[in-house]
Chain A
């Protein structure tokens, strides 16, 4: 058996895995000035700190990018009607006719200044040279199109036109069509309880990565399970699962938000292919993954009159009151390797089921303070070549766990402080030489300033974990300072 191509592939995967785990990637975040133009309303209507959605923004999004009540009254730039409203009388049980939004386009630019702690030579040899200072890296320009398409349809498309440098290609983020209440209407399900989304999208994570306010990804969202597909890594087995929570997925999602949004559920059937980080043919597979997400929230306003008023007004009646929510989520999939004997000629496909399961909480004190956290456990089945090389046997599963805790405080509507902790416990990563200890801790304080409602200056300092320096008994802590400018128009 020729192992050279396998080693090359394995090396690529390992480096990829390391990069995913370590790299301070620019979040693929979104904000939609097109809606501000349509309704003649400012960004804080939907965002207290864009692109993070506030209560109203969430209700607006879930209602098909429309005001949850009396939407037509608020529209200042009405869409082009594709058919007279009276057509509805001819076809009362359809969603026809629709509407064509007037140029629902928005743009976003973000560029960061990075200061990286100088690397020791051993790491430079392994990972490549990273300059201590780096201006406008990544340098991302994004186009966003999103709108409602009539009473019960919405669409969203965002694409990074350029990222990382002059003319460099970006990638398609989310691109989906969503039917709000349409299926539920025929099934006689109450409004908002059943929506359907179809296309490519960030799965309904407990806390979004695509619309994060942070300058770096949540570490646990980027964590992968990796041993070595060739079976020649430090651990026995073949696991090389490219799945991460931070990448968009293709699939179909059912979801809803009963009880004025205090309950939130979604179930998605997904292709499971990790289109950004997967390396074909390893990530190509026929099986489908399933993701479930469930939130339950409680109104914590202490004044009974205010509490009742909020309950009576619904999700958009009172802006950002005090509440707490608890969450449970789970992702169940299977990673296939060696289709057609690409890794081990003559041997069958390796099928390695995996799951990610966890819980989260989110506490908000009115519009001033928010504290949220997530904990996750990951488990990947791990198949190893048997001693005779004629098949596969179960090896020690690959597991990791971790999460994050983050607080956000509004000193003023334009000045926001952040404090975040990321922790990942992965013995496999330690054995792969990614970290000194099983647990990697990252502490990231940050400050964000809105110089204009649509222009934000951001800064974050990350105090990283120790990683071994190749070629010696030395360790390096990848601390970095990131500041950036971010604006949408």
Chain B
């Protein structure tokens, strides 16, 4: 009993704690996206693609896509599947929001209508893929909502750099979305430390 108490129980406790700790290990995925031939490496979405057997509840907090100064702001918004996006209008002119397809599926086209300054309209995105936003009042305006399957995503900055924070350890597939470029996928192994990734997207 003494031996059992002295050696076996602490060992079990250590192993149990260790395994629990290993489950909750989470690291950051950092990297840089190169975009040769493209105007800028900014606003490229990088996200952990679907994880088999895992689903994620959508956030209760709404995301916001604003229309300000005749532009969608932000230009690219990445959201988890099931997220509700509030479309707001800060301009003193009327704006419309519509999308001709979601993930190139034209059956999912939708017109939100036109509304003036100060009005907000919500929409919940339950389909994965890119949603090209347009305004039929101002054809030069464009924006994108990227609906992704996991909450692990980031947008590149002006230098093309990104950080996806708090990714549980494991092996995943990173996927990119860039305006006018083909998606790129790359495997990543996330452990306790920071995982570094370099990606290259091309038209």
Chain B, residue nearest A56 (CB): B93
Main SS class of interface, A: loop
With a cutoff of 8 Å between Cβ atoms, the chain A residues found around residue B40 in the complex are none
Chain B, residue nearest A321 (CB): B114
A332 to chain B, nearest CB (A): 39
Complex contact B138–A45 (CB within 8 A): yes
0/1 interface trace, chain A 310-329, chain B, CB 8 Å (1 if under)? 10110011110000000000
Cα–Cα distance between A316 and B137 once the two chains are bound (Å): 11
Complex contact B94–A319 (CB within 8 A): yes
Within 8 A of A (CB), among B106-122: 114-117, 119
Within 8 A of B (CB), among A51-67: 56, 67
With a cutoff of 8 Å between Cβ atoms, the chain B residues found around residue A74 in the complex are 69-70, 91, 93
Please pick, from A44, A68, A70, A310, the residue contacting B139 in the complex, using a CB distance under 8 A: A44
Cα–Cα distance between A45 and B94 once the two chains are bound (Å): 10
Complex contact A316–B140 (CB within 8 A): no
Cβ of A41 within 8 Å of any chain B Cβ, yes or no, is yes
Cα–Cα distance between A414 and B92 once the two chains are bound (Å): 26
Cβ of A39 within 8 Å of any chain B Cβ, yes or no, is yes
B166 to chain A, nearest CB (A): 38
Complex contact B92–A42 (CB within 8 A): no
0/1 interface trace, chain A 146-181, chain B, CB 8 Å (1 if under)? 000000000000000000000000000000000000
Cβ of A453 within 8 Å of any chain B Cβ, yes or no, is yes
B71 to chain A, nearest CB (A): 9
Cα–Cα distance between A210 and B93 once the two chains are bound (Å): 27
Complex contact A41–B136 (CB within 8 A): no
With a cutoff of 8 Å between Cβ atoms, the chain A residues found around residue B93 in the complex are 56, 67, 69, 74, 316-317
With a cutoff of 8 Å between Cβ atoms, the chain A residues found around residue B67 in the complex are none
- How extensive is the interface on chain B, given as a class? 10 to 19
Complex contact A316–B70 (CB within 8 A): no
Cβ of B176 within 8 Å of any chain A Cβ, yes or no, is no
Cβ of A12 within 8 Å of any chain B Cβ, yes or no, is no
Cα–Cα distance between A68 and B92 once the two chains are bound (Å): 8
B68 to chain A, nearest CB (A): 9
Q: Given the known A-B contacts A44-B139, A74-B69, are A67 and B92 also in contact in the complex, defined by CB atoms under 8 Å?
A: yes
With a cutoff of 8 Å between Cβ atoms, the chain B residues found around residue A68 in the complex are 92
Main SS class of interface, B: loop
Cβ of B83 within 8 Å of any chain A Cβ, yes or no, is no
Complex contact A44–B137 (CB within 8 A): yes
Complex contact A69–B92 (CB within 8 A): yes
Cβ of A88 within 8 Å of any chain B Cβ, yes or no, is no
Q: Given the known A-B contacts A316-B94, A317-B93, are A309 and B138 also in contact in the complex, defined by CB atoms under 8 Å?
A: no
Cβ of A413 within 8 Å of any chain B Cβ, yes or no, is yes
Q: Given the known A-B contacts A42-B139, A42-B140, are A309 and B92 also in contact in the complex, defined by CB atoms under 8 Å?
A: no
Complex contact A309–B139 (CB within 8 A): no
With a cutoff of 8 Å between Cβ atoms, the chain A residues found around residue B96 in the complex are 319
Cβ of A2 within 8 Å of any chain B Cβ, yes or no, is no
Chain B, residue nearest A39 (CB): B70
Cα–Cα distance between A480 and B96 once the two chains are bound (Å): 40
A257 to chain B, nearest CB (A): 17
With a cutoff of 8 Å between Cβ atoms, the chain B residues found around residue A310 in the complex are 116
Within 8 A of A (CB), among B82-128: 91-94, 96, 114-117, 119
With a cutoff of 8 Å between Cβ atoms, the chain A residues found around residue B117 in the complex are 313, 317
Q: Given the known A-B contacts A313-B116, A319-B137, A413-B136, are A41 and B70 also in contact in the complex, defined by CB atoms under 8 Å?
A: yes
Complex contact A313–B137 (CB within 8 A): no
With a cutoff of 8 Å between Cβ atoms, the chain A residues found around residue B140 in the complex are 40-42
Cβ of A73 within 8 Å of any chain B Cβ, yes or no, is yes
Chain A, residue nearest B95 (CB): A319
Chain B, residue nearest A55 (CB): B94
A367 to chain B, nearest CB (A): 8
Cα–Cα distance between A209 and B119 once the two chains are bound (Å): 37
With a cutoff of 8 Å between Cβ atoms, the chain B residues found around residue A319 in the complex are 94, 96, 114, 137
With a cutoff of 8 Å between Cβ atoms, the chain A residues found around residue B137 in the complex are 44-45, 56, 319
Chain B, residue nearest A367 (CB): B136
A70 to chain B, nearest CB (A): 4
With a cutoff of 8 Å between Cβ atoms, the chain B residues found around residue A316 in the complex are 92-94
A205 to chain B, nearest CB (A): 26
Cα–Cα distance between A363 and B93 once the two chains are bound (Å): 22
Cα–Cα distance between A73 and B70 once the two chains are bound (Å): 10
With a cutoff of 8 Å between Cβ atoms, the chain A residues found around residue B69 in the complex are 73-74
Please pick, from B92, B115, B138, the residue contacting A41 in the complex, using a CB distance under 8 A: B138
Complex contact A70–B92 (CB within 8 A): yes
Beyond the given pairs A41-B70, A67-B92, 15 more chain A to chain B contacts, judged by CB atoms under 8 angstroms and listed by A's residue number, are: A41-B140, A42-B139, A42-B140, A44-B137, A44-B138, A56-B94, A69-B93, A74-B91, A74-B93, A313-B117, A316-B93, A316-B94, A318-B114, A319-B96, A319-B114
Chain B interface (Cβ within 8 Å of chain A)? 69-70, 91-94, 96, 114-117, 119, 136-140
User: 26 pairs across A/B with beta carbons < 8 Å?
Assistant: A40-B70, A41-B138, A42-B138, A42-B139, A44-B139, A56-B94, A56-B137, A68-B92, A69-B92, A69-B93, A73-B92, A309-B115, A309-B116, A309-B119, A313-B94, A313-B116, A313-B117, A316-B93, A317-B93, A317-B94, A317-B116, A318-B114, A318-B116, A319-B96, A319-B114, A413-B136
Closest 4 CB pairs of A and B: A313-B116, A317-B116, A69-B92, A42-B140
